[in-house]
């Protein structure tokens, strides 16, 4: 019992050097972590369809385990066998929503001392009524690549950090285009989930 | 043995991680009232998972309205709105950042219509818990910890007197 407690304490202290948090879930293989983009119903302003796709894809590719699987016609937060990224109405203030979809057959691993369950399916939806902009001439708009990188950080198993400037920091100003660059804290969090698992 | 149990408990508490987020744009109270089609105070009467018109799992929440600050809803009416996610037919959908409710809980909700269904404005951003302090004064408080809040230009309001919200609603122009 003492050994287990000591192991957990040391694991915790090791991760406390950083401020990242984990949401207790991970992908067990990169094949499961393919995300499929439904680009219909994309926003009319201010990015082209190809800009939307490339910025969302950059958000996916920021995290090693996740990858783009191509396009899909599926949409919504449903158990349909695909991790779907879609556009839709999310109201007046919500920019993007992440949905964790699971069944009763979840499996788990212990990684860096943390018990982590298997992701079954994750769907992400972005608000098509919002003003997604590029850094050039940005006015009160938001960075799709940055928000994507943040949302896919959740979609690979990360929670929030209190390290200001990290991608997983839960607050950013309008026209701030720094969120798409991972900080050391983000990388350490990712490593805690996907390295040293038993 | 006892020390080991205490150490384990402390470790688990220290390592406990927050749930993650959905991204919402921060809006000040006045603007959030403008964006809300209804602002209601009431008790959670019933919660039930269902499929919405798009075939997605939502949790239908019946609110027994005690006070209608904004919107065409009367005191004593049961008003139904949806929270994203829920468990149905062996599938669990967790919409990160969505507000959580308890049966009988007293809440203030700021509601907007999305595709013909009412939802709280910005998920947990638009759901406030109502509580009373020792002097009987009513407060509302919300948790933004599961949200990624962008466009923040002021310290986000997480707690205020219920009276202040009533006054803020009264002072907003009607549309």
Q: What is the pLDDT of residue A105?
A: 62
Do B119 and A91 lie within an 8 Å CB cutoff?
yes
Do B35 and A5 lie within an 8 Å CB cutoff?
no
Q: What's the rounded mean pLDDT across residues B159-168?
A: 97
Pick one of 3.30.300.30, 3.90.1300.10, 3.10.20.30, 3.40.390.10 as the CATH number of A2-194.
Answer: 3.40.390.10
B residues 1-40 near A, CB within 8 Å? 1, 3-5, 7-8, 10-12, 14-15, 17-27, 32, 35
Spell out the CATH class of B21-171.
mainly beta
Domain ranges of chain B: 21-171
Question: Contact, A124 vs A147, CB < 8 A?
Answer: no
pLDDT digits (tens, 9 = 90+) for A131-152: 898 888 888 888 999 999 999 9
Dist. CA A70–CA A36, nearest whole Å: 5
Torsion of CA A183, A187, A189, A190, to 10 degrees: 140
Dist. CA B172–CA B170, nearest whole Å: 6
A1 CB neighbours in chain B (<8 A) are: 1, 4-5, 8
Chain B touched by A160 (CB under 8 Å): yes
Q: What is the pLDDT of residue A106?
A: 66
Do B93 and A5 lie within an 8 Å CB cutoff?
no
Q: At A130, is the secondary structure helix, strand, or coil?
A: coil
Do A24 and B17 lie within an 8 Å CB cutoff?
yes
Length of chain A equals 198
Mean residue pLDDT across chain A: 87
Q: What is the pLDDT of residue B6?
A: 44
ipTM of the complex in this document: 0.80
Q: What is the nearest CA distance from B135 to chain A, expressed in angstroms? A: 35
Q: Rounded to 5, what percent of chain B is helix, strand, coil?
A: 20, 45, 35
């Amino acid at each position: 019992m003492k050994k287990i407690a000591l192991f957990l304490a040391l694991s915790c202290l090791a991760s406390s050097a950083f401020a990242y948090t984990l949401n207790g879930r991970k992908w067990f293989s990169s094949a499961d972590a393919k995300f499929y983009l439904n680009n219909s119903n994309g926003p009319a302003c201010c990015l082209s369809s190809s800009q939307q796709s490339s910025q969302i894809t950059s958000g996916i590719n920021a995290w090693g385990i996740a990858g783009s699987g191509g396009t899909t016609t599926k949409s919504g937060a449903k158990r349909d066998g695909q991790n779907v990224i879609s556009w839709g109405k999310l109201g007046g203030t919500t920019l993007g929503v992440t949905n964790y979809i699971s069944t009763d057959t979840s499996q788990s691993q212990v990684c860096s001392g943390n018990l982590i369950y298997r992701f079954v399916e994750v769907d992400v939806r972005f608000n098509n009524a919002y003003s997604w902009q590029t850094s050039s001439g940005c006015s009160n708009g938001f960075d799709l690549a940055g928000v994507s990188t943040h949302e896919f950080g959740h979609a690979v198993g990360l929670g929030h950090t209190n390290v200001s400037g990290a991608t997983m920091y839960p607050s950013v100003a309008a026209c701030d285009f720094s969120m798409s660059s991972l900080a050391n804290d983000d990388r350490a969090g990712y490593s805690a989930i996907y390295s040293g698992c038993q | 043995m006892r020390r080991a149990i205490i150490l384990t408990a402390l470790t688990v508490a220290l390592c406990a991680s927050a749930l993650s987020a959905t991204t919402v744009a921060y809006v000040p109270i006045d603007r959030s009232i403008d964006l809300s089609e209804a602002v209601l105070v009431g008790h959670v009467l019933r919660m039930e998972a269902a499929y919405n018109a798009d075939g997605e799992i939502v949790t239908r929440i019946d609110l027994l309205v005690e006070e209608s600050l904004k919107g065409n809803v009367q005191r004593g009416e049961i008003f139904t709105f949806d929270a994203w996610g829920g468990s149905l037919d062996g599938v669990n959908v967790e919409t990160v950042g969505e507000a959580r409710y308890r049966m009988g809980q007293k809440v203030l909700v700021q509601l907007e219509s999305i595709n013909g269904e009412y939802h709280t404005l910005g998920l947990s951003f638009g759901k406030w818990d109502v509580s009373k302090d020792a002097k009987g004064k009513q407060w509302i408080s919300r948790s933004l910890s599961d949200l990624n809040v962008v466009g923040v230009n002021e310290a986000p309001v997480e707690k205020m007197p219920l009276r202040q919200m009533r006054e803020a609603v009264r002072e907003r122009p009607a549309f």
